[in-house]
Amino acid sequence: MKEKIEQIKKDFTSELTSVDTEDSLENIRIKYFSRNGLFAQLFEDFKSLPKEEKPKFGQILNIEKQSAQQKFDEIKQKLESNSTDKAEYIDLSLPGREREIGNVHVLNQTLNEVKSIFKGLGFSIYTGPEIESDENNFEMLNFPDDHPARDMQDTYFLSESFLLRTHTSPVQVRLMKKHQPPYRAIMPGRVYRNEAISAKSYCLFHQLEGLVIDTNVTFAELKGTLVYFIKQLFGSDVKYRFRASFFPFTEPSAEVDIWWEPKGKEGKWLEILGCGMVDPNVLNNLKIDSEKYIGYAFGMGIERIAMLKYGIDDIRLFFDNDKRFLNQFK
């Protein structure tokens, strides 16, 4: 028994002296201190010793194991200390890491520019919830029950009475329900349409609508406001036209086109927004005296504005989060 203890002690000291990595130290731990290690085997052999020898060898075994464990712990602490020092080492001669600063998304840049123009014209900004009632989204805006916009193919209905808003016009309804005229406000926000996703259409997009209600409002003022906006956004030499159109909540109604000539392609007229004088039925629905008050409204898609302004040909790029695309607009 004594010879076996001395041999294990000698082997342990020799192997521990040559340890230089945490992996090799772990191998020693398994070999000597694990449940089936050499020290555990010695204690198993100790059980078979004669009763009179157990006190002597029991003391020797405990002393040698404690001594071996202490030496093991010292080596382990030294290796771990060296490892930590390496991890925290900083080479001051290395060049610094360039800190990349994010940028405002191109849609928000465009929206901020549009809002800034209208704020300069005295418009206030109002927002509302994206989940809306059928009443606010359609009924109050003069949409008849059989209008195509009520069809499931166009609108995301959440229930019979609630839906994901298809335009930001419900914010106008909320404004008119809560406050009395006059109003001069714009309503930016996300809207949802159940449309097939392609280069020109997406299931959600950003819209900005405007509303002016007062006692002395004319179509000429509407036209002057939008012409000023177009020239501020696209430049004073932009070509534009107003085209007669139809919307359930305005009468008369018009669409505004600009002449677009992309490089290397034939020019054409592109629609950028719709507008018109607020239908008296809308005012009456909201208990506003249509004999006293008159107004105009307009609406535009921010994606369409950004695509024209920056020459982008695929609306999906706005939502792909591709840094190669987004970093072009820093």
Q: Measured between alpha carbons, how far is 53 from 1 in angstroms, rounded to an integer?
A: 10
Q: Measured between alpha carbons, how far is 209 from 299 in angstroms, rounded to an integer?
A: 4
Q: Which residues contact 294 (CB under 8 A, 6 or more apart)?
A: 213, 214, 215, 216, 217, 277, 278
Does the global pTM surpass 0.75? no
Q: How much is the pLDDT for 97?
A: 80
At 10, the amino acid letter reads K
Residue 146 corresponds to which tokens in the numbers above? 């059989």
Residue 223 CA to chain centroid, in angstroms? 36
Q: How much is the pLDDT for 29?
A: 85
Q: Measured between alpha carbons, how far is 193 from 205 in angstroms, rounded to an integer?
A: 8
Q: Measured between alpha carbons, how far is 96 from 5 in angstroms, rounded to an integer?
A: 57
Residue pair 42/5 in contact by the 8 Å Cβ criterion = yes
Q: Measured between alpha carbons, how far is 267 from 64 in angstroms, rounded to an integer?
A: 94
> DSSP state, 327?
G
Express each pLDDT in 156-198 by its tens digit: 889 988 999 999 999 999 999 999 999 999 999 999 998 888 8
Express each pLDDT in 63-104 by its tens digit: 888 888 888 888 888 887 776 545 556 677 878 788 877 789
Residue pair 151/195 in contact by the 8 Å Cβ criterion = no
Q: How much is the pLDDT for 119?
A: 96
Residue 50 corresponds to which tokens in the numbers above? 């004669």
Q: Where in the chain are the domains? A: 2-87, 106-329
Q: Where do we find the tokens 């398994």?
A: 30
Q: How much is the pLDDT for 80?
A: 76
Q: Where do we find the tokens 């696209």?
A: 234
> What are residue 213's phi and psi, to 5 degrees?
-130, 125
Q: Which residues in the chain land under pLDDT 50?
A: 85
Query: The domain 106-329: what is its CATH number?
Result: 3.30.930.10
Q: Measured between alpha carbons, how far is 70 from 78 in angstroms, rounded to an integer?
A: 13
